Amino acid sequence: MTTKKPVAVVDYSVDGLSGGLISSWLKVPSIAVRVVEGERFPSISPDDFSAVIHSGSSHSIVEDASFMEGAIIFVQRSVEAGVPQMGICYGHQLLARAALGLDAVAKCSNIEVGWLEVDFLPQWPIDGLSGRKAVWQSHYDCVIKLPEGSVITATNSHTKIQAFMNRNMKLFGTQFHPEFDRKKGNECFAKDVELFEKNNIDLETVLASGPGFPTGEVVFDHFLMTFR
């Protein structure tokens, strides 16, 4: 894939910090595009970008935010234009919803939060990442259906579709958040003590853990390499 055009990092996070955090891992030019609840999806065209990364968010994918219709149209137009797209958590779920509708996503029976293990399968598109490794998780929603031609590339007992790839549609999704290293990931967890107390999860145990590999460096590189 060409890198003459920048990668668009579409930031759905409520605090607007995900775009910069994701961009910091990319070794190619990128532009962060902020998406804000109460406003329409930004007026951007897939033709202006070499690839698109859709961030996570505290919004729920099963609810209709003000920007949802525009986001779905943008995902669909990106597929039609052959522009590779990666989705993280909410963004991962958005890719599935844009392809198949609300039937593709659902609420989980319980939250998945912490540095939790995921099984990276042999179907992962780039060699060198396999086996069970801890990654940063925080989600209530999940993907339950994938478009035809998709392959599940990572899984665990909580969420079957932890990652997927669709070469024909140039889609690459991860339920987990590769943008967090141990320092930034634990800082984020430490800000939300109530979340852990409410779900009877020991925060100190979580903070003593960390990622099982350099997630940001590996996963974003693998996305760009898959569709180069």
Beta strands in 121-226 (DSSP E): 131-143, 151-155, 163-166, 171-174
- The yes-or-no answer on residue 179 being catalytic is yes
- The yes-or-no answer on residue 89 being catalytic is yes
Beta strands in the chain (DSSP E): 7-11, 30-34, 51-54, 85-88, 105-120, 131-143, 151-155, 163-166, 171-174
Q: Which of 59, 89, 92, 158 is catalytic?
A: 89
Using CA atoms, how far residue 38 sits from 14, 67, 68, 81, 209, in Å, is 11, 8, 11, 28, 37
Q: Which of 142, 158, 179, 222 is catalytic?
A: 179
Q: Which of 54, 59, 158, 177 is catalytic?
A: 177
Q: What is the token pair recorded at 118? A: 């995921």
Catalytic residues: 89, 177, 179
